[in-house]
């Protein structure tokens, strides 16, 4: 196992940080690594906001379901699905370009996520932890104003970075599903409920008797949660904003 693969295996979400700063050189390396990511047609359909203003961090921590560690993170990056620069250039040189549509947004979100993951991998190689913040999908209209975003730039991914505390270093990484359970050959394998239960028992370490309570707890936390209602509402508004 080489060093890159080792770091992919070891990387986990880090939500508690030491007081040691991330240097400007390290930040530059993380940002430059993000820009080396694969991108559709080399269009780089994303932009990155380096959130340095503490009041902005504080506000984002509140808006992202009241998670104080966001405000304490030494580095906060927001990755925007951003087609604005190309839309402007198309109109400059080929007037009459139609409004962008759903596929354009989906393509930009792919670029955006790939760039974010490059940044995460680069940070891990420098001993800097990271945590994805999916809640940036909430409060779309307010965040659009907060970050002064044009029509075709929407906040899609936020990642916070910092050096992990000793407790975070030693905390066990949650077990992942196995290749055998996650990979199908040629066509999708629709598992029976028995196969699916076995898959979840292997991943969670729960017995069949414990599994129901475990899944119900997960559903309550992730599926029947208030934040999901706002995330769904916000996502619909993002789509309407993009294509109207």
Q: What element of type H or E holds 3? A: helix 3-10
Q: pLDDT tens digits, residue range 156-214?
A: 999 999 999 999 999 999 999 999 999 999 999 999 999 999 999 999 999 999 999 99
What's the residue count for the chain? 244
Predicted confidence (pLDDT) at residue 95 exceeds the cutoff of 90: no
Band (30; pLDDT cuts 50, 70, 90): very high
Return the higher-pLDDT residue of 19 and 95: 19
Q: Are 65 and 227 in contact (CB under 8 A)?
A: yes
Q: pLDDT tens digits, residue range 43-82?
A: 999 999 999 999 999 999 999 999 999 999 999 999 999 9
Band (14; pLDDT cuts 50, 70, 90): very high
| 210 vs 215: CA distance, rounded Å | 9
The CATH H-level superfamily of 3-172 is: NADH Oxidase (3.40.109.10)
Q: What percent of the chain has pLDDT over 70?
A: 100
| 189 vs 195: CA distance, rounded Å | 11
Q: Are 79 and 159 in contact (CB under 8 A)?
A: yes
Which pLDDT does position 244 carry in this prediction? 84
Predicted confidence (pLDDT) at residue 98 exceeds the cutoff of 90: no
Which pLDDT does position 3 carry in this prediction? 95
Predicted confidence (pLDDT) at residue 96 exceeds the cutoff of 90: no
CB 184: neighbour CB atoms within 10 A?
A: 10
């Amino acid at each position: 196992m080489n060093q890159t693969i080792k770091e992919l295996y070891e990387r986990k979400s880090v939500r508690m940080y030491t007081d040691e700063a991330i240097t400007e050189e390290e930040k530059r390396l993380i940002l430059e690594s993000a820009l080396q990511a694969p991108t559709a047609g080399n269009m780089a359909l994303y932009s990155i906001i380096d959130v340095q203003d503490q009041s902005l961090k504080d506000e984002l921590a509140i808006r992202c379901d009241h998670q104080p560690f966001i405000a304490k993170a030494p580095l906060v990056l927001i990755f925007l699905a951003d087609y604005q620069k190309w839309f402007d250039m198309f109109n400059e040189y080929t007037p009459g370009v139609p409004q962008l549509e759903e596929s354009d947004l989906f393509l930009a979100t792919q670029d955006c996520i790939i760039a974010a993951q490059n940044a995460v991998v680069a940070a891990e190689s420098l001993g800097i932890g990271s945590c994805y913040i999916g809640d940036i999908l909430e409060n779309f209209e307010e965040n659009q104003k907060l970050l002064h975003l044009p029509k075709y730039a929407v906040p899609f991914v936020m990642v916070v970075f910092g050096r992990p505390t000793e407790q975070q270093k030693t905390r066990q990484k949650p077990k992942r599903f196995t290749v055998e359970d996650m990979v199908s050959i040629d066509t999708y394998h629709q598992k029976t409920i028995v196969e699916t239960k076995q898959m979840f028992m292997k991943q969670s370490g729960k017995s069949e008797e414990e599994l129901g309570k475990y899944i119900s707890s997960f559903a309550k936390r992730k599926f029947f949660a208030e934040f999901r209602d706002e995330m769904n509402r916000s996502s619909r508004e993002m789509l309407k904003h993009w294509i109207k």
